[in-house]
């Protein structure tokens, strides 16, 4: 499968701070609060975390995955955001920035897109089991700049996501 033209990378990618919540290879999915969301039967293929300065459209910290070797939970690093995958989870839009120190290749981008198509189906099944209605789907690749523009700065009084994940 080839990467669609819409998956082009930013010429000058934005740099931002990311905090790792779920290290690559972990089976335990934690949310931004540190609480266990679920235990997966499959290991996470990426370092997964969030941008602590921004809220995504669903009201939780803006999600970010970091390509490369496993990072310790709680690691904070400054990385380039090369693009994003837009996920719909229970009808809520949830952008996932795709970050790394070096520019990802077409194969890496395709692997990320494949993962999120699979993840959306799995999350949909989990939501059915949890009796949480709403559409689940991977909407595909978008620019990092677009995902960051849709997010908003973290308000000083933020107390966590308004909906359970």
Convert the pLDDT of each residue in 14-54 to its tens digit: 999 999 999 999 988 877 677 787 777 788 899 999 999 99
Question: What's the pLDDT at 50?
Answer: 95
Task: Indicate the domain borders of the chain.
Answer: 5-152
pLDDT tops 90 at residue 135: no
Q: Which CATH number fits the domain 5-152, given the four candidates 3.90.80.10, 1.10.10.1400, 3.40.50.1370, 3.20.20.120? A: 3.90.80.10
Of the pLDDT bands very low, low, confident and very high (cuts 50, 70, 90), residue 2 is very low
Q: Would the pTM of this model clear 0.75, i.e. be above it?
A: yes
Helices (H) and strands (E) in the chain, counts: 2, 9
Which of these, 87, 95, 71, lies nearest to 152 by C-alpha position? 95
Residue 36 · residue 30 · CB < 8 Å: yes
Helix, strand or coil, per DSSP, at residue 96: strand
């Amino acid at each position: 499968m080839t990467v669609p033209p819409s998956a082009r990378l930013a010429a000058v990618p934005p740099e931002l701070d990311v905090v790792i919540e779920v290290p690559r290879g972990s089976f335990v999915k934690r949310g931004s609060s540190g609480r266990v969301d679920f235990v997966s039967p499959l290991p996470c293929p990426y370092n997964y975390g969030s941008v602590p300065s921004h809220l995504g459209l669903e009201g939780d910290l803006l999600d970010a995955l970091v390509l490369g070797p496993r990072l310790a939970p709680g690691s904070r690093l400054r990385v380039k955001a090369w693009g994003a995958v837009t996920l719909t989870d229970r009808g809520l839009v949830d952008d996932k920035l795709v970050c790394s120190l070096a520019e990802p290749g077409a194969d890496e981008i395709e692997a990320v897109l494949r993962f999120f198509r699979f993840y959306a189906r799995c999350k949909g099944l989990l939501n059915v089991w949890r009796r949480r209605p709403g559409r689940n789907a991977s909407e595909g690749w978008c620019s990092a700049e677009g995902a960051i523009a849709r997010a908003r700065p973290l308000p000083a009084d933020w107390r966590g996501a308004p909906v359970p994940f």
